[in-house]
Amino acid sequence: MIKKAFAYREAAPSVNKEEKKAAFDRSKNAVLNENGLDVLLVRNFDDLRVPTLAAYDAIILQYQDVERVYELLKAVRSSSFEEIYLKPCFILAYEAHVDPVVEQLSDGVLTEPSILSHFAKTENILEAMAEIADVKTDFTGRKLLLKLMRYLYSRQSPLVPVPSKRSHTGYAFPFLEANVKNYEYEEIFHLLEAGVQRGFLSEDFVDVMHLCSKCNSGFINYREVCPKCNTRKLTAQNTIHHFVCGNVGPESDYKENGKLVCPKCDRQLRHIGVDYDKPSLVVECENGHIFQEPNMETFCFNCHSVGQIEDIVEQPANEYHLTASGAETALSGKAKVKEEQKLADGFVSLPVFRTFLKLEIERLKLNDIHTTVSYISLLLSPATLKKHEDNYEDFRNDLGTLLVEQLKPSEIATMLDDDVFLVISPEGEEEPTKQRFKEICERITGVLVNSLDGNKADRVAYGSFEVEADNESESVMMQINEKLKVF
């Protein structure tokens, strides 16, 4: 049983099964008590005011009027108060199909009026809310970014783009869209980019959106037009090549009383592949212009602007994950100011590491040897981050020291951000090096969990790849970044 996240709530009286059944038969809203949690079942949206939701542990919305459910969830997620916008909200849909955008604004779909099937998730959200409650913030920048980080932290899940006709761009980020106006949609792109640049979020590619350059709408019609007069009324037909006389012309020139007759030599064409073939298409516009390739233009259904294909804006639709730094910021409300890192013994600074990498690549060009670069990434649970928030640098350096003690004297190590180590292994082939680092990571994980007050959910990821003599040092660093998204 968890403690109540907000002490000022008034507990609802317990409700037995018969009383619950009677409550479901009424059109009024009902308060259920499930394992000590007060759960509001909303059936009548007219009687509901969003601020009153703070008095309940969780909300169930009956999925009768899709738009009313959608608008209420948007109002909840756009609240300025953590006790409202982080509230566990579920949809009671029975067998109905739930709009994907509406579903993502919620915490799950129920088939009966009870949260017991999602009880563990509800407890986890309430525990995260209790951690965040009343934390004062000096976070600089858009508060929506902090709000997003806290939402992702409380759900322990990524921000996923949802294909939807509801979205201005065609891909929806429902939580963020609830917090910005349609005409400010660019703000979502800037916000997510800032989150990645500041190290709070990492991104995984999903798709590319093609947007109107005027309004960022993703609802665009691609139209073929005449290259001479720009009309859109076009007729396409095959061309026919007569083998005997070599004449090539539109199929319409060959048609005569339901037969194909060559307009040049008057011979009838009977068999395709024997008498003739159809080598290409030809297009004719309503004004009589004939051409093979029409031009393409775009028409935006939102702002009605007409443009060229090259004007289309390409915007990635990525999946966003909360990083360790983002989780720490979500809990503390403070963005860590990057200072000069205090390096643990045995590590070199990143500029020095880059210099060693350049020298090693030059050495590869002159000698028939192998060099491998490896990375080790600390994937720490929110519980471990919380436990070590006041001494994280010392905690990380302890793990770094453990790594250095297992390296060869010729290997060079550096630190990236707060949770990534890089190692150059001169004269080290890829597979043996990868196996050795697997064993190193297993030992680090064991010490982390058993001796450094870690958590069973903590993981240490690793990877190794061989450096080629024709590599540039920056290309090697970018190869690492493709894996870890740390730069």
Domains detected in the chain: 1-134 (3.30.750), 227-293 (no CATH), 339-484 (3.30.70.270)
Give mean pLDDT, residues 59-71. 93
CB 199 within 8 A of CB 326: yes
Other Cβ atoms closer than 10 A to 181 = 9
CA-to-CA dists, residue 296 to 229, 238, 289, 307, 474, angstroms: 13, 20, 16, 9, 39
Other Cβ atoms closer than 10 A to 270 = 10
Cα–Cα distance between 36 and 272 in angstroms, integer?
80
DSSP string covering 343-360: PPTT-B-HHHHHHHHHHH
Residue 4 pLDDT level (bands cut at 50, 70, 90): very low
DSSP type of residue 457: T
Residues linked to residue 269 through DSSP beta bridges, in sequence order: 260
Backbone angles phi, psi at 416, to 5 degrees: -120, 130
Residues linked to residue 172 through DSSP beta bridges, in sequence order: 162
CA-to-CA dists, residue 45 to 11, 50, 111, 453, angstroms: 22, 10, 20, 47
Q: For residue 410, with 0-12 CB atoms within 10 Å meaning exposed, 13-18 middle and 19 or more buried, which class applies?
A: exposed
Cα–Cα distance between 40 and 125 in angstroms, integer?
16
First to last CA, the chain: 42
CB 371 within 8 A of CB 360: yes
Helix and strand numbers, DSSP H then E, in the chain: 15, 24
Residue 194 pLDDT level (bands cut at 50, 70, 90): confident
Contacts (Cβ under 8 Å, ≥6 apart) of 483: 375, 463
Residue 126 has what pLDDT?
A: 95
Residue 136 has what pLDDT?
A: 67
- 144-148, 151-155, 403-407 — most confident range: 151-155
Does residue 322 register a pLDDT over 90?
yes
Does residue 240 register a pLDDT over 80?
yes
Cα–Cα distance between 465 and 374 in angstroms, integer?
7
**pLDDT tens, position by position, 365-423:** 888 788 888 988 887 766 677 677 777 788 888 888 899 999 999 999 998 766 789 99
74: left (phi over 0), alpha (psi -120 to 50) or beta: alpha
**Mean pLDDT, the chain, whole residue set:** 83
Which pair of tokens denotes residue 18?
A: 């018969």
Does residue 475 register a pLDDT over 90?
no
Residue 366 has what pLDDT?
A: 81
Q: Report pTM.
A: 0.59
Q: Helix, strand or coil for residue 199?
A: coil
CA-to-CA dists, residue 32 to 48, 60, 124, angstroms: 16, 10, 19
Residue 486 pLDDT level (bands cut at 50, 70, 90): very low
Nearest CA among 281, 278, 291, 389 for reference residue 331? 389
C-alpha count within 13 angstroms, C-beta hemisphere, residue 306: 7
CA-to-CA dists, residue 410 to 362, 397, 404, 424, angstroms: 17, 20, 11, 9
Residue 10 pLDDT level (bands cut at 50, 70, 90): very low
Which pair of tokens denotes residue 145?
A: 């970014």
Q: Which H/E stretch holds residue 325?
A: helix 324-332
Residue 334 has what pLDDT?
A: 66
Residue 224 has what pLDDT?
A: 92
**pLDDT tens, position by position, 379-394:** 776 667 767 777 778 8
Residue 14 has what pLDDT?
A: 39
Q: Please, what's the b/e burial string for 412-437 (b: 16 or more CB within 10 A of its CB; e: otherwise)?
A: bbbbbbbbbbbbbbbebebeebbebb
Residue 5 pLDDT level (bands cut at 50, 70, 90): very low
Residue 16 has what pLDDT?
A: 43
- 137-146, 307-316, 388-397 — most confident range: 307-316
pLDDT higher at 22 or 66? 66
**pLDDT tens, position by position, 209-221:** 999 988 889 999 9
Place of tokens 């007569």: 242
CB 347 within 8 A of CB 433: no
Residue 193 has what pLDDT?
A: 85
Place of tokens 């999946």: 319
**pLDDT tens, position by position, 285-307:** 999 898 888 999 999 999 999 99
Q: What proportion of the chain, given as a percentage, has pLDDT over 70?
A: 85
Q: What proportion of the chain, given as a percentage, has pLDDT over 90?
A: 43
Does residue 13 register a pLDDT over 50?
no
Which pair of tokens denotes residue 32?
A: 């259920």
CA angle 358, 359, 360 (to 5 degrees): 90
Which pair of tokens denotes residue 178?
A: 């609830």
Does residue 343 register a pLDDT over 80?
no
